Structure formats: structure tokens, C-alpha cells
Amino acid sequence: MKSYLVDDKGFYGEYGGAYVPEILYATVENLRKQYLDILETKEFQDEYAALLRDYVGRPSPLYYARRMSEKYGCHLYLKREDLNHTGAHKINNTIGQILLAKKMGKTRIIAETGAGQHGVATATVCALMDMPCVVYQGALDVERQSTNVERMKMLGAEVRPVTSGNATLKDATNEAIRDWCCHPSDTFYIIGSTVGPHPYPDLVARLQSVISKEIKEQLMEKIGRDYPDYLMACVGGGSNAAGTVYHYVDDEHVGIILAEAGGKGADSGHTAATIHAGSMGILHGARTLVMQTADGQIVEAESISAGLDYPGIGPMHANLAKQRRATVLSINDDEAVRAAYELTRLEGIIPALESAHAIAALDKVRFKPDDVVVLTVSGRGDKDVETYLANKNMTNLTTRP
């Protein structure tokens, strides 16, 4: 049967693979050889499940959004990853990776971060597991995301600002890879999304797949069948989307709608819509769609949402788009802000700016009245309230008396 999951060589169609410097070859190969065996042990499974339950707060609720359903003419369920400890889905992945690191005998953790969400999720599990943690973050992001920098420091992580390039996420990732090259034997690199060299995209997708595992059980309980008509999620690197679709991806009855960040417009030159604007290239160890100039220089991604601001895309999602298994919509900054206000006013849920891109996509799909739609709210919007208030002019709301 045709599968959209990774093949035994680490590819999703023509995307993926492991393009790493010689010095990292043995380290990545060692991870590839061990990860499935460790993930499948009962010991790992039990520890991981217990932490997801008692520490993260899973299962996250599947909430029937009545007023939004009325507005969009469907049955809309929200998968509430915003209610997790640390406020987003990222912790599902960092808990799993640090358990794996420990089982592999690693003693030091490094990570890259853009907005700081993955940095906080990594620093959190390092505090929990008493592991030293270095987080690389672009100097510009360190300045822009000071609250998350302070959270990481309070959690005991060392934040190293990166001044090369544009001093943002891509440069922080380069620096993390450089660190890894210098300390391949004792250091585990916790990557924050379904990106990087094989086996990372598959590892992260498996760890996030708890989302779709729960959706199956929760739908069965609520509507008596375990699949929806549509799944919807936002994509930066692709991890919350991968987790949302994982157990459904080979079942073509279930439609998949992905929302990427259009920024000021997918063709405006100020965008993070990699699937629309990118072309084949190699970024951070994988062959995938990349936003680049004609001579292969990476073009900086632009979006109002720091978590979607990445010039690449996970190989799994590049393939889902190429094979037309997923419909990919580009959502602009103003559409995301409007959608966030709408969810806030109709359901009393302030979503992360990233998640707001998925909500905005509801307006671009023609649903049938019986359609069951599950949309993942990847994170909460506390971190974005300033941005929302500063951009209220993008909506036509007036303040309620």
C-alpha cells in the first residue's frame, strides 16, 4: 500500500534524507539505528505516557466549538494543545527526546529556538531531568522575545545569542549544528520540529502522534466513529500538523488542510509560505522545499508569527503537498489576526498567532453541513496579546462597551 510515512531510507517521496557533515555521520547514524528500538521498549512507553499524563496534562481536550461550527456550517472540534504545560504542543516532543537522550547515555542537551517556544520546552524538560542545556537563539530574536529568554534562564538554561547572518532562527540552527559537530559523543541535539536530517522528522512526528491517537479515541467517544472528514493545522516546520495527521495520513477518506504563513502575501517577497514560494534545496540536513535565491542563498522568512517564520518545511509536508494528499493554504498576517479575534470572541479562546493561521483557513474551505472537522489549536495566545492589540486595526471590531 502507498504510504505517506517515511520509507526505510529516510525519505518521503523525493524529500528527506540525511545530508550531514562527515563529522556528524556516526552520531546521526547511531541515532537512526537506536531510536525505534528505544521508543518501542515498554520502559520508554510507560515513562513517556506517565509524563504526558501527569506533567503535560494529557489527554488534551477535544472541544466542540458550537458557535464557530454555526458560523462555518460544519461540526468543528478543536484539539486543545494550548492547554498543555508550557502552552503548546512542543512539550510532547521535548519530553520524548530527552528520555531518548538519557537512554542513549547522553549528558548534555542543545537546542535551537526562534521565538523561544521550543527553547522554553527544552529548558523545561532539562530542569525536570537535571541535564545541562544550551539554547542557541538569533540575537535579534533574543531581543524580540525577551519574556521567553527570561523563562529559559529561570529554568536554568544557558541562552547563547547568535549574531551571524540575519541573527534569527536559521542562523541559530547553523550554530547548534556547529556545537553538535564539536561535541558529537556526549551531546544530544533536541530538534523542535519535523525538520533536520533523518531520523529527526520521523522521530518528532512519532512523538507528536499522541495528538492523532487521542483524536481517534475522543471522536469515537463523541460521535461514534474514529475519523473526521477534515483535519486542519498550521505548519511552520510541521510538527503539530504531523502529530494531527499521523494516524490518518494513509486513510484518504480524511481530508488534510494545512495553513502556512503567507506574511504579507505568498508572492509578495515578504512571506514564510515555503510550500508556495520554495523550491527544492537542502536545508539543515534534509532535501526539501526551501525559500532561496536563484543561486541558492536562503531567503529570510517573514510572518507576523515568530513560530512559523522558517524558510524551510518538513520533508513529510513537502511530499504531502507534492502528492496532493494535503491542500496547502497560505494565510496572510491580517487574516490570522482577524481569525484570532474571532475565536476569542466566539469561543473565549485566545489562540497562538501560529494556530490562528489554521483558524483563518476555515473561511477558505466550503464544508458540507455534516462534515466533521478537527482543527488543532497548537498553542495559547498569551505570548501574542501585545501583537494582537497592536494590530487590532486589521479587524473591524470595536471595543465592547
Ligand X SMILES: *Cc1c(COP(=O)(O)O)cnc(C)c1O
Q: 257: which strand partners?
A: 232, 327
Euclidean distance between CA atoms 79 and 210, whole angstroms: 12
If the CB atoms of residues 145 and 378 are measured against ligand X, the closer one turns out to be 378
Residue 128, burial from CB neighbour count under 10 angstroms (0-12, 13-18, 19+): middle
The span of 50-58, 169-177, 269-277, 348-356 binding ligand X (CB under 6 A) equals: 348-356
> 86: Cβ–Cβ under 8 A, 6 or more apart, which residues?
117, 120, 121, 124
- With CB under 6 A as the contact rule, the residue among 212, 218, 274, 355 that binds ligand X is 355
Provide the minimum distance between the beta carbon of 352 and ligand X in the complex, in angstroms, as a whole number: 4
> 176: Cβ–Cβ under 8 A, 6 or more apart, which residues?
110, 111, 112, 136, 189
If the CB atoms of residues 69 and 378 are measured against ligand X, the closer one turns out to be 378
Q: Active-site residue among 60, 81, 90, 175?
A: 90
Q: Cβ(137)–Cβ(151) under 8 Å? A: no
Provide the minimum distance between the beta carbon of 182 and ligand X in the complex, in angstroms, as a whole number: 26
Report the SS3 class of residue 331.
strand
- With CB under 6 A as the contact rule, the residue among 6, 20, 88, 211 that binds ligand X is 88
* Interaction residues for ligand X, span 14-73 (CB under 6 A): none
Provide the minimum distance between the beta carbon of 340 and ligand X in the complex, in angstroms, as a whole number: 12
Q: 62: which strand partners?
A: 79
Q: Active-site residue among 81, 112, 214, 302?
A: 112
Q: Cβ(257)–Cβ(359) under 8 Å? A: no
If the CB atoms of residues 242 and 371 are measured against ligand X, the closer one turns out to be 242
Q: Is 112 a catalytic residue?
A: yes
If the CB atoms of residues 338 and 383 are measured against ligand X, the closer one turns out to be 383
- Write the CA distances from 38 to 45, 53, 183, 251, integer angstroms: 9, 20, 22, 27
Other Cβ atoms less than 10 A from the Cβ of 70: the count is 11
**Residue nearest ligand X, Cβ-based:** 379
Q: State the residue for C-alpha cell 460521535.
A: 223
> 58: Cβ–Cβ under 8 A, 6 or more apart, which residues?
52, 84, 92, 210, 214
Number of residues that bind ligand X (CB under 6 A): 18
* Interaction residues for ligand X, span 236-275 (CB under 6 A): 236-240
Q: Cβ(313)–Cβ(288) under 8 Å? A: yes
Q: Per rule CB under 6 A, is residue 354 in the interface with ligand X?
A: yes
Query: If you count them, how many residues does the chain have?
Result: 401
Provide the minimum distance between the beta carbon of 42 and ligand X in the complex, in angstroms, as a whole number: 28
If the CB atoms of residues 209 and 240 are measured against ligand X, the closer one turns out to be 240
The span of 56-64, 289-297, 341-349, 351-359 binding ligand X (CB under 6 A) equals: 351-359
Q: Active-site residue among 60, 69, 355, 378?
A: 378
If the CB atoms of residues 196 and 236 are measured against ligand X, the closer one turns out to be 236
Cell numbers describing residue 234: 498550521
* Interaction residues for ligand X, span 278-317 (CB under 6 A): 307-308
Q: State the residue for C-alpha cell 526551501.
A: 290
Provide the minimum distance between the beta carbon of 260 and ligand X in the complex, in angstroms, as a whole number: 9
Q: Which residues bind ligand X (CB under 6 A)?
A: 88, 90, 117, 193, 234-240, 307-308, 352, 354-355, 378-379
Catalytic positions = 90, 112, 378
